[in-house]
Structure 1
Amino acid sequence: MLMHQHGIGAWVAKRRLRSPDKVALVHGDQATMTYRQFADAADRVSVVLREWGVGKGDAVAYLGGNSPDFLAVMFGCAQVGAVFVPVNTRLAAPEIGYVVADCGARVLIHDPDFAGPVAAAGPAAGAPNVIVTGEGTSEWPGLARLARAAVGFTDPVDSTHQDAAVIVYTSGTTGRAKGAVLTHGNLTWVALNCVVDYDVVSTDVALMISPLFHVASLGMGALPVLLKGATLVLEKGFEPGRALAQIERHGVTMLSGVPTTYQLMADHPDWASTDLSTLAKLTCGGSAVPTRVLDAFEARGLSFSQGYGMTEAAPGATALPAAMTRAKQGSVGLPHFFTDVRITDPTGAAAPTGGVGEIEVAGPNVFPGYHGLPEATAEAFTADGWFRSGDLGYLDADGYLYISGRLKDMIISGGENIYPPELEHLLTAIDGVTSAAVIGVPDERWGEVPWAIVTVREGTSVDTDSVRAYLDGKVARYKLPKNVVIVADLPRTASGKVRKADLRARFGG
């Protein structure tokens, strides 16, 4: 068997040679897969994909929760040179249809639980071939059944670090999601960044409580662990009591999450009685960890590594070492080992130390562009090739990055990105709503939540319940406004743009 390729498709085969009997994946309560079994599963998936006509450059969409199937399909895609497209399981049917159609998926693989949304997506999805995980049904073939029947071996396609490996869709600021193309090189280098900066070792046991369709969970959670030959404990979803039990049961050493995740664990009745002695590496992203959560974990001898990133950087840009959590509280850390960060002023010149400007990122983990959107790609980069994050920040004298605000009005709620224009477009389609602005308002549990500020036509009735009911099914539920406020007028600039800073000041954003 030849393995000349340099893409991630070679990883599992090389792990099969190096650590065949080491446990790669734990799933369910006790079920495990060794690296030999995992590599064999990826091989069988690659044969299935070939039999279904999938070749180099073809897209394969996957809609499902954390499972060995998710990862076997991703690596199986890499082996045949296909592009893996993980679909956010929280999306509404129209959003699923858009993603599947936009990437041009030749095959859509989904868990049985999502048969309803897939059917509802219907023609909008572009009518790809459909496979269901598990044994399948009389209507849809099952991945498990197909894999058992797979015969022979698929010689891996030679992939370079410049070839596309994954497309991750990030909510668009113009109301449509954009597919960020991540190459084999992007995923390799972000994994190496994590190995270096988070000291991932082969004896680690990482608990995966965040969904793998999130690029942070995939690029900075699963991939570094599998690269090092460590063990990944896969959870279908997050429940704080179960997460605590899994830490104790499996001797978990690594855990990644968002502030809400850690807050719910610390607030759980089992927190004080759970054995956390094996935990050594905690990483957190999305937003700053509240002081009371830091206090709760530090009381158990645990500190956080915090960071900053974006989908387009696969996603890591910076990391704050756990040892500096208090000394540099409020910072998101130093640039990752193989990544660079700079701050520029509105003219594009370098901002002075402590000077606020736009955060720009460069490095081998930074994506080459958006799928099918050359103009958006061109706008995302500076003339000398740095990615423009759209976020504002500054570097202190030691090179640590601090976030000051956002040029884009993105809302981060419980680790999920929400872009106001998408909601505003839908809000103005509601009968009686004449204009709308969506802002993020601080929330103790979720970090921030979306509020809709609207003006309405005289004589019409609009309230929070009716707005949420209208939007439900059109967008993911985490995007639904938590409050709807009716105002006489929205504050605007001379050019007619809504002054969201005024709204945030007024409503606590």
Structure 2
Amino acid sequence: MKTMPFIDELKHWAATHGDRNAVVVGESRLTYGQLLGGAQTQPNASGTDSLAIIEVPSSTELAVAFCAAVLEGRTAMVLDAQWPQGLRAQLRQAAADWSARQMTLDRGAAAAPPFLLGLSSGTSGVPKAFVRNAASWHESFVQSVEYFHLGPESVTLAPGPMAASMNLYALSESLFAGGGFVALPHFSPDAALQAMTEHNVDRLVLVPTVLGLIASRGLATGQTGQELRSIVCAGSDLPDATLALARSWAPNADIQQYYGAAELGFVAATSMQKPDLNQDAQGVGTAFPGVQISIRDDAGEELEPGQSGDVWVKGPYACDGYAWGDDGMAFTSQTFAGSGLPAGHNAALWSTVRDQGFLDAEGRLNLSGRASDMVIVSGTNVYPHHVERVLSAALKSEPPVRGATIGTDGEVPVPCTAVVAGLPDERRGQVLIAGIYAPLTEHFPLAEVRRAASSLPAAQRPQQFYQLSDLPLTGSGKISRIVLTQWIKEGDSRATRIR
């Protein structure tokens, strides 16, 4: 019997509470019965008999098309309709070429085609595509709905683009659990706050930057997040200032952060409501249920706690590799022998996206960055992630904004952010630059940031500082070092050189 990641559950909920909202986007909504009926009668999306290319804006129409593709057993690829037309055309052609190659392969009678071509950023302008089987998401749903306490009574708002991997997963996870899913046709903090009120949202799934925007606006306008029981953050670090802001805005929410990758699925997670006094500042949590984590050196030897190396993961959630765009800098799977792991593990398949980190004595994963983000300064390997943490610690001490007494919880500091990247340099090979986003502060904190930088080894000290009028973000709201360097190279007014 072919595994479907959430279709059996969708049919169950349509039969047992078919009149309850399944998906709401703006003014459009579909009950479970309507969603299943629409998926069963949906005309084929563009593509082929085995491939569905879904290319519509965030909408209930996107949800129907995605469910229809999965129901039909076609491989789905969801494109962000906001991407440039030329890029989408390149992706459509790459998917068609991949599908044609798949047709020539002898998969065997028992082999199931992948259900998803997911898109992940690469070193070139065209995203690479990873291949995911249905079982990996189905098993992930089984674990995540329990870990995040998601059920039929839950109403989840994912305010980012529905095509983004995290939000597409959140939609599917909600359908698996029988809950309601809410998305926005276009993001703004006000639109998110309005949707929360209109649809009794009790759970958010979002990236930290978007959480900061919503919480700040909510506190400023007196729209508290008192009804939220859960906030799930991923995609990047959750800064302390943003965490404090979110706690003030949504005091009853369990704020959880997880680390993962589109190719790996869940890796580690933690609840921010119960901070561990022994937790290193870089800790992202312990292994997610069903996952094992191993830190290894370049030769594949497992390292002791506290020693930094490549983060390798073993579990049922990983993808099956790339359909195109494998640049050698990301997802890799292999077996390890003689690793000293418990019996039965030596032949297991481990995967990595070349993130760097270490496990502490309590088994908490601490990250230092991704190998592809590494900057080589005068022959020294520097991970921007570590430098950002040091600079952001200085920004945390910034005084609250004058007049920022918001709501009833006293002064709330506006979150400031440091973004560090590398630029080519004739003498050093590369040089570090730092962009500082400090909105509405009484004075720009250059002196504080430079003082913090002086405590770092010489190779880790930024040589150029820029004042940012906006955060450099991807379309899904993640902070992007690539966008920052583009701004600087192009002389974009959003990044002003100050030293």
The reply to whether TM is greater than 0.5 is yes
Matching residue within 462, 484, 489 for 1:484: 489
Runs of 4+ that moved beyond 6 A:
410-413, 436-440
Whether the aligned pair in 2 keeps the contact of 1:307 and 1:332 (CA below 8 Å) is yes
Is 1:335 the counterpart of 2:335? The answer is: no
Is 1:76 the counterpart of 2:26? The answer is: no
Q: 1:184 to 1:485 in 2, by over 3 A?
A: closer
Whether the aligned pair in 2 keeps the contact of 1:60 and 1:105 (CA below 8 Å) is no
Is 1:202 the counterpart of 2:194? The answer is: no
Superposed CA offset, 1:329-382 (max 9, x none):
532112211222211122211111111110112211100111157895997122
Taking the aligned partners of 1:160 and 1:203, their CA distance within structure 2 comes to 37
1:203 positional shift? 0.4
SS in 1 for 2:354: strand
SS in 2 for 1:482: helix
Matched residue count: 387
Equivalent AA in structure 2 for residue 483 of structure 1: I
Q: 1:354 to 1:195 in 2, by over 3 A?
A: same
SS in 2 for 1:104: helix
Whether the aligned pair in 2 keeps the contact of 1:343 and 1:359 (CA below 8 Å) is yes
Q: Which runs of 5+ in 2 are unaligned?
A: 100-108, 337-348, 375-383, 389-418, 440-465, 467-478, 492-496
Taking the aligned partners of 1:331 and 1:20, their CA distance within structure 2 comes to 42
Give the corresponding residue for 1:444.
437
Matching residue within 136, 160, 164 for 1:186: 136
Taking the aligned partners of 1:90 and 1:309, their CA distance within structure 2 comes to 25
Q: 1:443 to 1:199 in 2, by over 3 A?
A: farther
Give the corresponding residue for 2:44.
49
Equivalent AA in structure 1 for residue 68 of structure 2: G
Superposed CA offset, 1:267-303 (max 9, x none):
2265451142220110111222222221122224144
Give the corresponding residue for 1:311.
262
SS in 2 for 1:309: strand
Taking the aligned partners of 2:38 and 2:111, their CA distance within structure 1 comes to 24
Taking the aligned partners of 1:200 and 1:377, their CA distance within structure 2 comes to 35
1:440 positional shift? 7.3
Give the corresponding residue for 2:457.
none
Whether the aligned pair in 2 keeps the contact of 1:24 and 1:230 (CA below 8 Å) is yes
Taking the aligned partners of 1:231 and 1:250, their CA distance within structure 2 comes to 9
Superposed CA offset, 1:10-51 (max 9, x none):
34223222322222112224x432111110011011xx229x
1:255 positional shift? 0.2
Matching residue within 233, 241, 244 for 1:284: 233
Equivalent AA in structure 2 for residue 361 of structure 1: V
Q: 1:187 to 1:379 in 2, by over 3 A?
A: closer
Give the corresponding residue for 1:268.
217
SS in 1 for 2:122: coil
Q: 1:53 to 1:269 in 2, by over 3 A?
A: closer
Output aligned runs, 1:50-449, within 5 Å: 54-55=48-49, 58-104=50-96, 163-173=113-123, 176-219=126-169, 221-268=170-217, 271=220, 273-299=222-248, 300-301=250-251, 302-313=253-264, 315-325=265-275, 327=277, 328=279, 329-372=281-324, 380-384=332-336, 385-409=349-373, 441-444=434-437
Taking the aligned partners of 1:93 and 1:346, their CA distance within structure 2 comes to 40
Greater Cα shift, 174-183 or 250-259 = 174-183
Taking the aligned partners of 1:44 and 1:194, their CA distance within structure 2 comes to 30
Equivalent AA in structure 2 for residue 37 of structure 1: Q
Whether the aligned pair in 2 keeps the contact of 1:216 and 1:316 (CA below 8 Å) is no
Superposed CA offset, 1:462-495 (max 9, x none):
xx9xxxxxxxxxxxx9755121399xxxxxxxxx
1:211 positional shift? 1.3
The TM-score normalised by the length of structure 2 is: 0.68
Give the corresponding residue for 2:21.
23
SS in 1 for 2:241: helix
Identity %: 20
1:54 positional shift? 4.2
Give the corresponding residue for 1:117.
none
RMSD of equivalent CA atoms: 3.9
Whether the aligned pair in 2 keeps the contact of 1:361 and 1:389 (CA below 8 Å) is no
1:6 positional shift? 2.3
Taking the aligned partners of 2:222 and 2:113, their CA distance within structure 1 comes to 48
Is 1:7 the counterpart of 2:4? The answer is: yes
Whether the aligned pair in 1 keeps the contact of 2:156 and 2:202 (CA below 8 Å) is yes
Taking the aligned partners of 1:53 and 1:292, their CA distance within structure 2 comes to 45
Taking the aligned partners of 1:378 and 1:295, their CA distance within structure 2 comes to 33
Superposed CA offset, 1:65-124 (max 9, x none):
2211112111111122211101133432332122111111899xxxxxxxxxxxxxxxxx
Whether the aligned pair in 2 keeps the contact of 1:308 and 1:316 (CA below 8 Å) is yes
Whether the aligned pair in 2 keeps the contact of 1:54 and 1:106 (CA below 8 Å) is no
SS in 2 for 1:245: helix
SS in 2 for 1:483: helix
The TM-score normalised by the length of structure 1 is: 0.67
Superposed CA offset, 1:406-430 (max 9, x none):
21118999xxxx9x99x99xxxxxx
Q: 1:395 to 1:161 in 2, by over 3 A?
A: farther
1:401 positional shift? 0.8
Q: 1:177 to 1:276 in 2, by over 3 A?
A: closer
1:324 positional shift? 3.4
1:387 positional shift? 1.2
SS in 1 for 2:304: coil
Greater Cα shift, 355-364 or 272-281 = 272-281
